[in-house]
Amino acid sequence: MLDTTRRTGQDESQALFRESVRRFLAAEGVPHLDRWEEAGIVDRDFWTKAGSAGLLCPTVPEAYGGPGLDFAYNAIVTEEHAYARVPSGITLQSDVLADYFIAYGSEEQKREWLPGMVSGEKVAAIAMTEPGAGSDLQAIRTTARLDGNHYVINGTKTYISNGQTADVVIVVAKTNVELGAKGTSLFLVEADRAGFARGRNLDKIGLHGADTSELFFEDVRVPATNMLGQEGRGFAYLMRNLPQERLTIAIGAQASAQRAFDEALGFVKERKAFGKTVFDFQNTRFTLADLAAKLQIGWAHVDWALARHLRHELTPEEASAAKLWHTDTQWQIIDAALQLHGGAGYMNEYPIARIWRDARVSRIFGGTNEIMKEVIGRGL
């Protein structure tokens, strides 16, 4: 269990909410991990159960079916999901996608999609990455051409989380290819639109239970009212929302690193070698001491960054720094924790092996860590 006794800034209401998240994941998530890992996708009824339990989209206002809480509750769900090793599709919906609807959606769009996203009856995805455009979002080639009172969308997206299950996709497209970033707009594309097709559920190194897809758009016609926000403002919207996404990644990385440490600590206290436990060797204790110090610093930083974000003070540079440091540190801790398992760490039957595989993407998605350094460097 994730120890929060020395954390700062969490009140009694949040503590009770955390307990409800833990109970839900223990009952509805953890028992199914192996099956979801093999299937490459989470059961759809997990989404509705999560909605019924109040885990989805905490920041959605009451007017649209949500509880109207602040992002601290999202952070609790993210931490507990990462610690329990449950695939993270619902945190994407809560921490990233819901805010696009809240901030930029029309009243009609909010009423159509947000209540279902809160209940889990509607799953959303965002289609940014393309085969030739990853962290460089200005290079996207998907287009949306105005034709009367409709836009016609053409293009290919890849590495799209929730792609196999999404009922609606926020599509990043160029409405004016000559304007570069200023010609980028966002559109809502329903999964039943003619011309929309899902490709493969992609075979990844880790996070096997979280579906990730190719998506294809061939002359997909959507009404002009499906534009999310204003034309040409898409890139600005993406940049405005990225700090929260990167904070979410940092929080998840910290909780994942803590789980790896806890697994290693439990293992070395039980494992015997040369007539004593592995924990009794000075090298083991020194390694664990170094990891424990990093975790102590990490949790203090998570609470600091979260507090700044709740006050609307967290800068893009600070969010990028959080993503950079926590995911780099996550990898250091998890790799060391696996090493402490010895040969057992390389066996898939031990949780540390899956934690190690799942962690590798943290330094890539949400903007690679090399891009994080660019963002930080430009602000110096």
Full pLDDT tens readout for the chain, 380 residues: 888 888 887 889 999 999 999 999 999 999 999 999 999 999 999 999 999 999 999 999 999 999 999 999 999 999 999 999 998 789 999 999 999 999 999 999 999 999 999 999 999 999 999 998 777 777 899 999 999 999 999 999 999 999 999 999 999 999 999 888 899 999 999 999 999 999 999 999 999 999 999 999 999 999 999 999 999 999 999 999 999 999 999 999 999 999 999 999 999 999 988 999 999 999 999 999 999 999 999 999 999 999 999 999 999 999 999 999 999 999 999 999 999 999 999 999 999 999 999 999 999 999 999 999 999 999 99
Which residue out of 245, 270, 317, 318 is catalytically annotated? 245
Query: Which residues have CB under 8 Å from 344's CB, separation 6+?
Result: 267, 271, 350, 352
As given in the structure block, the two tokens for residue 331 are 């990898």
Domain edges within the chain:
12-122, 125-231, 236-378
Residue-level pLDDT at 88? 72
As given in the structure block, the two tokens for residue 267 are 């293992």
Q: Which residues of 20-48 are buried (b: 16+ CB within 10 A; e: fewer)?
A: ebbebbeebbeebbeebbeebbbeeebbe
As given in the structure block, the two tokens for residue 274 are 């040369």
How far apart, in whole angstroms, are the C-alpha atoms of residue 344 and residue 263?
12
- Protein fold of 12-122: Butyryl-Coa Dehydrogenase, subunit A; domain 1 (1.10.540)
Length of the chain: 380
Contact between residue 96 and residue 245 where contact means Cβ atoms under 8 Å apart: yes
Q: Report the SS3 class of residue 277.
A: strand
19 as an active site residue: the answer is no
Residue-level pLDDT at 8? 83
Residue-level pLDDT at 232? 95
Contact between residue 197 and residue 216 where contact means Cβ atoms under 8 Å apart: yes
Q: What are phi and psi of 105, to 5 degrees?
A: -75, 150
Residue 321: count other Cβ atoms within 10 Å of its Cβ: 20
How far apart, in whole angstroms, are the C-alpha atoms of residue 88 and residue 313?
26
Query: Which of 45, 49, 42, 41 has the alpha carbon at shortest distance from 21?
Result: 49
Domain 125-231 superfamily per CATH: Butyryl-CoA Dehydrogenase, subunit A, domain 2 (2.40.110.10)
Residue pointed to by tokens 């929080």 = 251
Contact between residue 328 and residue 256 where contact means Cβ atoms under 8 Å apart: no
As given in the structure block, the two tokens for residue 86 are 């449950």
Contact between residue 234 and residue 186 where contact means Cβ atoms under 8 Å apart: yes
Residue 65: count other Cβ atoms within 10 Å of its Cβ: 18
| Class level of CATH domain 236-378 | mainly alpha
